Amino acid sequence: MSTPPFKRVLVANRGEIAVRIIRACEKLGVECVVAVSEADRGSLAARLAARAVCIGPAPARDSYLRPEVLVVAAKGTGCEAIHPGYGFLSERAHFARLCALEGVTFIGPSPEAIEAMGDKLAAVQIAQEAGVPRVPGSGRIESTAAARDFARRHGFPVIIKASAGGGGRGMRVVRSENDLPRALEAAAAEAQAAFGDPTVYVEKFIERARHIEIQVLGDRHGNVVHLGERDCSAQRRHQKLIEEAPSPALTPELRAELADAAVRLARRVDYRGAGTVEFVFDADTRRWYFLEMNTRIQVEHPVTEMITGRDLVAEQIRIAAGEPISFKQSEVRLDGHAIECRINAEEATRNFAPGPGRLESWQAPEGDGVRVDTHCFPGYFIPPFYDSLLAKVIAHGRDRGEAVRRMQGALDRFEVAGVPTTIPFHRGVLVHADFAAGRVTTRWVEETFLSAAAGEAITSAAPRRQRGDNRRAAS
């Protein structure tokens, strides 16, 4: 094996991504220390790491969200670098800056790149400078009149977005001029309360949108590559449920356009590490526009790994140590099709209510082209303090049909008892004609799938009760 990029790394996260980071470190010969809250002392990550260090009480704000505590934990355990995973501190420029100040390597982009992309209005402006089209939109809105003029010029519906938001937080769709003043006021107040910044802007609202994102990698040597797209249109309340690659909506020509645009933007901000450039694809006009850039490893990165055969987390770690990306753009092949289903401890028929508790049984599926990323094991207690992701099932096939069939087989073989899961929901989606035809837009889950036959589509797709039994043991 070549020289490890670091001797020891602190994993500043929990759940499946903490386990995923530890696996990448094992492969690279890097020792891991995992930061755990009091609720996570018995986690799989704590067992797998060389060492676990407790960083505070269960609530994230008292542990996983404390920059100073994490840096002290890293330095105190001899870690040279911190991997932030996704969520928590992964996109806080202040944290990346603190790491640099304290001589700990932040495994991620520069604080400047995080900051530039974290300000969504700044991001669309940088994108435009890089020749990447944004949805027709305004600058910072200073008055109701300015928003009204924009909407009159471009027509309703429009969408109000908080500049400090992102990922769907602080957004409002407005369908008529009457609703505009109140919506603006509410959006600005919400943005102020949530982010301490009332800045909002307005865009033309794309009604039939697909969410398509391009995976990029950049290093300190001026190299930027892309690894194709992921289609994340199957979502509910801005939570992605199913992701796939390649997108059923793109042609090779459109794929090349989006990828070129993503690489141009990444170059513009000297992007280093793994990043995702998010686009909205208008299913009616087949036009596409830049939305935002996420400066972290994403939950859905495995679908890209399955079709490219590359290890994105290992690349992040090597890049942070100053190594170049381990392959060239010309060596990237997109092979077959991959789909990911996020399995949460939630009851889809009860409005996705979370159901923490003990896993009375847990047997994840195996099989050709099937990968499961998880931190769960039989007897594990799912704490109520964090999001309820139990596992990601990723299925790869030579084409979309084979990937879907392998996913169906994997979900059929998944044995879980003790908590509700979203497995029946996924089985219902996979057999739906719209999903089979690749016709899903960002509103499809809520407006078509869930509202149509309500629980019917979910329960009828899960007729077998012995295996894949996701009812609570008591019910």
Cβ proximity to ligand MV4: between 190 and 292 the closer is 292
What does DSSP assign to residue 61?
G
**By CB under 6 A, residue 203 contacts ligand MV4:** yes
For 377, other C-beta atoms within 10 Å of its C-beta total: 12
**By CB under 6 A, residue 442 contacts ligand MV4:** yes
What is the smallest separation between the CB atom of 367 and ligand MV4, expressed in angstroms? 31
Q: Is 274 helix (H, G, I), strand (E, B) or coil?
A: strand
Tell me the C-alpha distance between 321 and 254, whole Å.
34
Let me know: does 162 contact 212? Beta carbons within 8 Å.
no
Q: Is 59 exposed, middle or buried (0-12, 13-18, 19+ CB in 10 A)?
A: middle
Cβ proximity to ligand MV4: between 206 and 262 the closer is 206
What is the smallest separation between the CB atom of 223 and ligand MV4, expressed in angstroms? 27
For 2, other C-beta atoms within 10 Å of its C-beta total: 8
Size of the site for ligand MV4 (CB under 6 A): 17
**By CB under 6 A, residue 440 contacts ligand MV4:** no
Residue with the CB atom nearest ligand MV4 in the bound state = 442
List, in order, residues 6 or more apart from 48 with CB less than 8 Å away: 19, 22, 32, 34
What is the smallest separation between the CB atom of 134 and ligand MV4, expressed in angstroms? 9
**By CB under 6 A, residue 168 contacts ligand MV4:** yes
The per-residue DSSP string of 159-201 comes to EEEETT-BTTBT-EEE-SGGGHHHHHHHHHHHHHHHHS---EE
Q: Per-residue x/- mask for ligand MV4, residues 13 to 42, rule CB under 6 A?
A: ------------------------------
**By CB under 6 A, residue 206 contacts ligand MV4:** yes
Q: Is 41 a catalytic residue?
A: no
Q: Which stretch binds ligand MV4 (CB under 6 A): 17-25, 199-207, 317-325, 404-412?
A: 199-207
Let me know: does 216 contact 277? Beta carbons within 8 Å.
yes
- Cis amide prior to 248 (ω within 30 degrees): no
Q: Which stretch binds ligand MV4 (CB under 6 A): 46-54, 206-214, 323-331, 430-438?
A: 206-214
Q: 252 is written with which tokens? A: 């090779």
Tell me the C-alpha distance between 385 and 131, whole Å.
43
Cβ proximity to ligand MV4: between 174 and 376 the closer is 174
**By CB under 6 A, residue 332 contacts ligand MV4:** no
Cβ proximity to ligand MV4: between 31 and 203 the closer is 203
What does DSSP assign to residue 323?
P
Cβ proximity to ligand MV4: between 291 and 303 the closer is 291
What is the smallest separation between the CB atom of 442 and ligand MV4, expressed in angstroms? 3
Cβ proximity to ligand MV4: between 106 and 205 the closer is 205
Among 190, 219, 229, 278, binds ligand MV4 (CB under 6 A): 278
Let me know: does 115 contact 144? Beta carbons within 8 Å.
no
Let me know: does 52 contact 46? Beta carbons within 8 Å.
yes
Cβ proximity to ligand MV4: between 159 and 429 the closer is 159
List, in order, residues 6 or more apart from 462 with CB less than 8 Å away: 423, 424, 427, 428, 468, 470
Among 209, 274, 393, 410, binds ligand MV4 (CB under 6 A): 209
- Per annotation, catalytic residue among 14, 296, 371, 427: 296
Tell me the C-alpha distance between 176 and 173, whole Å.
10
Let me know: does 242 contact 342? Beta carbons within 8 Å.
yes
Q: Which residues are catalytic?
A: 296
The site for ligand MV4 (CB under 6 A) is made up of 135, 159, 167-168, 203-206, 209, 211, 235, 238, 278, 280, 291-292, 442
